[in-house]
Structure 1
């Protein structure tokens, strides 16, 4: 079983772990595409060092690969409709 299910299998975000749900919620309420650094700031993470942002980038990319968010060519993320 996948920790992060594909959106098509279970479109209910309650199936996602809490930290993934929080990131998804931040992307959904944003006015436009968001950078990982912006999501990290909203989560209260220390985003001053690149190494602190990379684990969050991996989570956001995983959400994109599973269909929960869209990753744009410029690396920013938007909500799926």
Structure 2
């Protein structure tokens, strides 16, 4: 089963996890939004910030400081 078999929400989560895992250090929402090819406007970055926060709350990511995240 590949990534294409996942729902769009899970595909987005997997993309975010790959971006965070491939980073040299902690990432911020703007970094992830840029890597996803989104506009860097508040309306496009805030949903990414919310997803990062949810992933950290659920233990998938580690919050290392205000708005900075690493893969666990």
Residue equivalent to 1:69: 61
TM-score of the superposed pair, with normalisation by structure 1: 0.74
How many pairs are equivalent? Answer: 65
Gap runs ≥5 in structure 2: 1-5
Structure in which a larger fraction of residues adopt strand:
2
Asked if 1:60 corresponds to 2:38, the answer is no
CA RMSD of aligned residues (A): 1.5
Displaced runs of 4 or more, over 3 A: none
Structure with larger RCO (C-alpha < 8 A, sep 6+)? 1
Structure in which a larger fraction of residues adopt helix:
2
Gap runs ≥5 in structure 1: 1-13
TM-score of the superposed pair, with normalisation by structure 2: 0.82
Partners of 1:71 and 1:78 lie apart in 2 by: 6
